[in-house]
Chains A and B, each alone.
Chain A
Amino acid sequence: MPNFRILPRFLPALFVLISGGLHAQVFEGQQLVRASLVPSTKAVVPGQPFDVGLLLEMAPGWHSYWQYSGDAGLPTKIAWSLPEGFRAGPIQWPAPHLMIEPGDIWTYGYVDKVLLITTITPPDVLKPGATVPLLARASWLVCKEMCIPGSGEVRLDLPVSSASTPENAELFARFRSQIPSTAEPPFALDWKRTETGWQVSIAGLPPGEIAEIYPLPESDQAIGHPVAIGAGQFRVESASTFRGVLAVGNNGTRKAWIINSTKAAAASKTGTGLWLALFYGFLGGLILNLMPCVLPVISLKVFGFIRQAGEAPGKIFAHGLAFAAGIFAWFLGLAVVIIALKSGGTEVTWAFQFQNPWFNVVIGSLVFAFALNLFGVFEVVLPGHASTALESASSSSGLGGSFFQGVFATLLATPCTAPFLGTALGFAFSQSAGIILAMFAAVAFGMASPYLLLTARPGWMKFLPRPGAWMERLKQFMGFPLLATLVWILGIIGGQRGTDGIFWFLCFLLCLGLAGWIYGGFCGPLSKSRTRAIAIFLSIMIAGCGGWYFLGQKFADAGTEEAGDIAWVPFSAQKLVDLQAQGKSVFLDFTADWCITCKFNEKTAIDTPAVRGLLAEKRVVPMKADWTNANPEITAALKSFGRVGVPFYVIYPAGNPTSPIVLPELLTEAILTDALKKLP
C-alpha cells in the first residue's frame, strides 16, 4: 500500500443518476456539469441518418474542452453503445472559445453550455413501433481553478417510425451554425510565411465583428498560440503548414470555417506600392543619363539648342521641351506597343505573372543577359536603317528638329539603356495598362529632366559631370543591381520548383552566358563575316540546346512528383516503433542532400521499378531519415548502430524488429531486391 495521504480537499467526483438518462457531476455539493443526450428528431426513420447531441451544461466559471484542448486540458470523449446496425459518426465540434490563464497558458473550450453533435445512421430495416435505446459513455474534464474529470452514462430512447419531425430545432441550429464549414470563408485570407511560422491577414471582415483563430494541429505537430497583432491579423508559430478554425461573429451570428495555410511564396512579393515604383522609374531614367552613350551628348545637345535659339532664354527652354517630348514619345510609344501586345494575346498566351515559373525563367534569363551586357561581355548593335532615317529627320532645324533629336538621342542610347528598358519591359508585362504608361512616363521624365533643367538654366551646365573612364565603370557597376534582381527571381523559382528548379535554371544560364561571350567576342563590327557567321551559329546552338535540355526537359519536371514515386515516410523514432507495432516491415534510408553517394544510390539502386514493386508487394514502409540539416533524433539513431555518417540503410523485418538487417553503403539494386525478397 503506497504511503499516500493527501488532504481530502479533492474527492473523486460524485455521480448521481437522475431519471431520464441524464448525468450530473457534483462536487462539494455543487452541480458542475449536467450531461444529457438530446435528439434532433422525434423518431428514428429506418435508413435515414439523424443527429443526436451530447449537451453539457456547465456551472458558471467552469469550462470543458474542444477537440484540441490547447496548452492543458482534455477533450470530451463519447463512447457509443448502439444497437445492432447503428453507426455513430465523429463529434462535430462547434468553434470553441479561448481561455487564457496566467503564465501565458492558452486553452480552447466551452463555457455555459455546448452541444456536441453526432450523426447516427440507422439500418435500413427496423421493427416499426420498436424503441431504440441510444447509450453513450461520455467523459470530460471541467476546470475552473481546479480541474475535475467527469464521466457518466447518458441515454436516449427514441421510437421507430416511418416519418419524423424535428425536435429541439433551436438548440441544434444554435450549435450547428458554429460547426466549422469546409467551404472557403467569405473573406480574403493572405498567408505570409515568417521565420518561425505564419502571419495571416483577413480582409473583408464585417465592421465591429471580431475574428478568432483556433489551431488544429496533427498529432505530433507542435503549434504556437494564434496571437492577434492587429485587426484581422494573426501570427502563429508553426514549423509546417497551419490548419485551424476561423470563427467570426458574436454570439447569435457566430460562424466558423476550416482554414489552411497555403504555400504561397511569390504572390506577396510583388507590389511595393505604385508611387515607390514610379520613383524608381524616375530615378532609373535619371541614371540613364550617366551612361557612356548618353552623358557626352547632353551638353552637346544643349549647346546646339542655344546656338539655334540665340540668346532668348524662353526659346532655349522651348527646344528643351521639344527634345523632352521626343524622349517621351519614344518611351510612351514603347509602352503602347507593350499594351497592344498584352491585350492582343489570349489569356493563356499572356498569362505571364510571377506565379508562373516560366515567366520567372524568361525574366531571369533576360536580366542575366542584360547584366552580362553591362559587364561588357557583349554589346548590342543597332540596325543601321533606323539610325539613318532619324538622322535625316533630326537635322532639320526648329522645334520639330529638336523633337526628332530627342527620339534619336534615346534610340542612340539603346545600347546602354537596353538592359534597363528590357527589365522594365519584362516587369511591365505583368502590370495593367495604366501602370505600364505611368512607369514609362516616369522613366522618360527621369531621362528628360537634365535637358529640361539645363535649357531652363543653361548656366548650370558647369555642374554637369565631365565624361571620362568613370562612366564605363558605372555602366559595369549597374550590372550588379540586375544580378540582385536575378537572385530575387531565383528565390521565387526556388519556392515554386525547389532547389532542383534553381539548379537546372542555373545550368541554362551557364549556357546563355557562354553563348553571350561567344557573340560578344567574335561578332563585333571588326570581325570577318565568316567568323561572325560561325560565332552566331555557335551561340544560338549553345543557347538553344541548353534551353531545350535544361529548361524543356529538366526544369519542366523539377519539383513535381511523378506517379509511382516512392512515398517516403519521414523518420521519427516514435513512428518507427508504431509501424513495427502494427506488424509492418520498414526500410529505413538515412540520406542527406549533400551526400553524393546517397543521391547516387537513390537514383540507381532504390528508385527503380523493381524495388518499387517489391516494396508494394511486401507492404514494406519506406522511411527516409533526412539528415540534410542537423537533427539530433537521426544522429541518435545512427549512433545506436555505431555509425556517424550517411548513407546508411537498414531493414526492419516485420515480426522480428529487434534484428534489423543492415545493408552496405555501396548499395546496388540487386542487394536491395534480394534483401526485400527475403522479407515475410
Chain B
Amino acid sequence: MKSVLILLGLLVSAAHAQIGSPAPDFTLKSCDGKSVSLSDFKGRPVILEWTSRECPFVLKHYGTGNMQRLQKDAVARGAVWLAICSSGPGKPGHATPEDAARLCSETGSQATAYLLDEEGAVGKLYGAKRTPEMYVINKEGILAYHGAVDDRKSPDPADVEGAKNYVAAALDDVLAGKPVAVPSTEAYGCSIKYVR
C-alpha cells in the first residue's frame, strides 16, 4: 500500500510542495512591513504555520499557549518559524497593512515572522487549505512534514493536553538529521479564507 505521503503528493498538483521534494521559495511581507523570503533561511530548518486569528482551532492552540511554546522552543533550537495568514481582504483573519503592525503583536506569537499572504499565492503554492496547517522543511530545504499540529481533531482546548504533537516530533527528527517518522497527516481546521 502506498504511504499517505505519496497519495498526498498525487493530489497536490505538480506546482505544489511535495514531501521529499525541495520546498518552493517565496517572498512575503511580514506584519512589520519587512520583506521575508524562504531562501533567507537557507541551511536552517523552517516551520510554516498557516494561521488565522479567527479560527477556533487556531485559538485552541494559542489560548492554551501551546503554539507559542512550540514557536519559542523551535526558535531557541535554531529553527525558523514563519506564521502565514492567507486570508483575503475583507475575510476573517485578514489584516490591512495599517492594522497589521498593531495586530501582529496582539496575537502573542513567538514566531520569527508573521507573514501576510492576502493574495493567497503562497497558500496555493503549498496546497494549504486549513488553519492550522503545518509544514516542516529540513536543513537541506526539503519538505519533511506536512499536516496537522497534533492528533486531536477538535476545537476543545482541553484536548491539547496529552495530544501527540506531530510538529514537535518532526522538528526533533529534522534537527537530529533523521528522516521524519510520521511525514504526513491529515490537517484539521477551518478553511483558509482565500480571496479567490
Q: Which residue of A lies closest to B180 (CB)?
A: A636
Chain A residues, CB < 8 A from B180: 636
Scan B46-90; emit 1 where CB is below 8 A from any A CB, else 0: 000000011111010011110010000000000000000010100
Chain A residues, CB < 8 A from B29: none
B10 at the interface (CB under 8 A from A): yes
Q: Are B190 and A239 in contact (CB under 8 A)?
A: no
Which among A2, A101, A143, A237 has the highest number of chain B CB atoms within 10 Å?
A: A2
In B1-58, the 8 Å CB interface with A consists of 1-8, 10-11, 19-20, 53-57
Neighbour of A149 across the interface among B4, B56, B64, B88, CB < 8 A: B56
B154 at the interface (CB under 8 A from A): yes
Chain B residues, CB < 8 A from A103: 86, 120, 123-124, 129, 191-192, 194, 196
Q: A6-B59, A145-B91 are in contact. Are A102 and B108 (CB under 8 A)?
A: no
Shortest C-beta distance, A636 to chain B (Å), equals 3
Shortest C-beta distance, B37 to chain A (Å), equals 22
Q: Which residue of A lies closest to B19 (CB)?
A: A632
Shortest C-beta distance, B165 to chain A (Å), equals 14
Chain B residues, CB < 8 A from A223: 11
Shortest C-beta distance, B44 to chain A (Å), equals 21
A253 at the interface (CB under 8 A from B): no
A147 at the interface (CB under 8 A from B): yes
In A1-38, the 8 Å CB interface with B consists of 2-7, 9-10
Neighbour of A73 across the interface among B107, B156, B181, B190, CB < 8 A: B190
Scan A539-581; emit 1 where CB is below 8 A from any B CB, else 0: 0000000000000000000000000000000111110010000
B175 at the interface (CB under 8 A from A): no
Which among A73, A103, A107, A237 has the highest number of chain B CB atoms within 10 Å?
A: A103
B106 at the interface (CB under 8 A from A): yes
Q: Which residue of B lies closest to A222 (CB)?
A: B7
Q: Are A102 and B11 in contact (CB under 8 A)?
A: no
Q: Are A74 and B188 in contact (CB under 8 A)?
A: yes
Bound-state CA distance A455–B188 (Å) is 79
Q: Are A631 and B6 in contact (CB under 8 A)?
A: yes
Q: A6-B59, A221-B7, A633-B183 are in contact. Are A73 and B65 (CB under 8 A)?
A: no
Shortest C-beta distance, A573 to chain B (Å), equals 5
Q: Are A222 and B56 in contact (CB under 8 A)?
A: no
Q: Are A631 and B3 in contact (CB under 8 A)?
A: yes
In A561-614, the 8 Å CB interface with B consists of 570-574, 577
Chain B residues, CB < 8 A from A10: 54, 56, 59
Q: Are B10 and A196 in contact (CB under 8 A)?
A: yes
Q: Are A224 and B11 in contact (CB under 8 A)?
A: yes
Neighbour of A4 across the interface among B2, B63, B130, B182, CB < 8 A: B63
Q: Are B108 and A5 in contact (CB under 8 A)?
A: yes
B139 at the interface (CB under 8 A from A): no
Bound-state CA distance A16–B5 (Å) is 44
Interface size on A, residues (CB 8 A): 50
A430 at the interface (CB under 8 A from B): no
Which among B19, B54, B62, B196 has the highest number of chain A CB atoms within 10 Å?
A: B54
Q: Are A570 and B1 in contact (CB under 8 A)?
A: yes
A240 at the interface (CB under 8 A from B): yes
B92 at the interface (CB under 8 A from A): yes
Interface size on B, residues (CB 8 A): 57
- Number of A-B residue pairs, CB cutoff 8 Å, is 143
A640 at the interface (CB under 8 A from B): yes
A146 at the interface (CB under 8 A from B): yes
Bound-state CA distance A639–B191 (Å) is 37
Chain A residues, CB < 8 A from B20: 632
A260 at the interface (CB under 8 A from B): no
A105 at the interface (CB under 8 A from B): yes
Chain B residues, CB < 8 A from A261: none
Scan A334-355; emit 1 where CB is below 8 A from any B CB, else 0: 0000000000000000000000
A141 at the interface (CB under 8 A from B): yes
Neighbour of B4 across the interface among A139, A141, A237, A572, CB < 8 A: A572
Q: Are A71 and B191 in contact (CB under 8 A)?
A: yes
In A39-73, the 8 Å CB interface with B consists of 71-73
Chain B residues, CB < 8 A from A73: 190-191
Bound-state CA distance A634–B153 (Å) is 27
Shortest C-beta distance, A580 to chain B (Å), equals 13
Chain A residues, CB < 8 A from B155: 74, 141, 149
Chain A residues, CB < 8 A from B130: 71-72
Which among B2, B86, B120, B195 has the highest number of chain A CB atoms within 10 Å?
A: B2
Bound-state CA distance A143–B190 (Å) is 8
A220 at the interface (CB under 8 A from B): yes
A635 at the interface (CB under 8 A from B): yes
Q: Which residue of B lies closest to A1 (CB)?
A: B65
Chain B residues, CB < 8 A from A2: 62, 64-65, 68, 108
A444 at the interface (CB under 8 A from B): no
Scan B87-115; emit 1 where CB is below 8 A from any A CB, else 0: 01001100000000001001110000000
Q: Are A222 and B106 in contact (CB under 8 A)?
A: no
Q: Are B196 and A148 in contact (CB under 8 A)?
A: no
Neighbour of A632 across the interface among B5, B189, B196, CB < 8 A: B5
Bound-state CA distance A139–B88 (Å) is 29
Chain A residues, CB < 8 A from B62: 2, 4, 6
Chain B residues, CB < 8 A from A632: 3, 5, 19-20, 179, 183
Chain B residues, CB < 8 A from A220: 4, 186
Chain B residues, CB < 8 A from A143: 190-191
Which among B8, B178, B191 has the highest number of chain A CB atoms within 10 Å?
A: B191
Neighbour of A105 across the interface among B2, B19, B179, B192, CB < 8 A: B192
Shortest C-beta distance, A591 to chain B (Å), equals 14
Q: Are B68 and A102 in contact (CB under 8 A)?
A: no
Bound-state CA distance A101–B130 (Å) is 12
Chain B residues, CB < 8 A from A146: 54-55, 92, 190
Neighbour of B2 across the interface among A9, A139, A631, CB < 8 A: A631
Q: A220-B4, A222-B4, A573-B182 are in contact. Are A4 and B108 (CB under 8 A)?
A: yes
Shortest C-beta distance, A222 to chain B (Å), equals 4
Chain B residues, CB < 8 A from A629: 2
Q: Are B65 and A574 in contact (CB under 8 A)?
A: no
Q: A6-B107, A220-B4 are in contact. Are A74 and B196 (CB under 8 A)?
A: no
Q: Which residue of A lies closest to B3 (CB)?
A: A633
Bound-state CA distance A7–B95 (Å) is 12
Bound-state CA distance A167–B106 (Å) is 53
Q: Are A636 and B179 in contact (CB under 8 A)?
A: yes
Other A-B pairs, 6, CB within 8 Å; known A2-B65, A145-B92, A239-B7: A2-B62, A72-B130, A72-B191, A101-B194, A103-B124, A103-B196
Q: Enumerate 7 A-B pairs (CB-CB under 8 Å) in ascending A order.
A: A4-B68, A6-B59, A72-B130, A73-B191, A103-B86, A146-B55, A633-B183
**Nearest 7 interchain pairs by C-beta:** A103-B194, A636-B179, A570-B1, A2-B65, A72-B191, A222-B7, A149-B155
